[in-house]
Structure 1
């Protein structure tokens, strides 16, 4: 199953420095990816992270020069419909 996820990177040495990024992971089953699977995906993406909180999907790069915390914010898959209220209203205008 293909899973899209949104994650936030907080640079802990720089106050207010954060970024929201998107990621993609494939799993063998229909279950959401585990913390270990996400850790592997993040490591393959160049983030040498360790699991800080598996239940809340929080990862930590303990590099003393530039520590960062990565938090998985949202999951979606191709089978889940994406509901965007503004887009739906716009589409309704074209149907009239």
Structure 2
């Protein structure tokens, strides 16, 4: 599947893929182990680690969980962890839960 993506999105996908591969290596896990733990194929993991943006969001989240970095990922995206997010928290229809 070929996606017509902005170059910044392509670079981000490649960087994120490299980071996932890096975590796998730092943890001393094989691709087969991570794929099994994430309940995906080794081919899907290879695509993710090589920056293929067609990999499903679900697969990305499952790999993050398998690597033990799902909380790190969700914390990085939490708007209330930023000054701007806290300043505009009223625009969010939720409270910070921690």
Higher Rg of the two aligned structures: 1
Structure (1 or 2) with the greater helix fraction:
2
- Structure 1 and Structure 2 fold alike (TM over 0.5): no
> Relative contact order, CA 8 A, sep 6+: which one is greater?
1
Alignment TM-score, normalising by the size of structure 1: 0.28
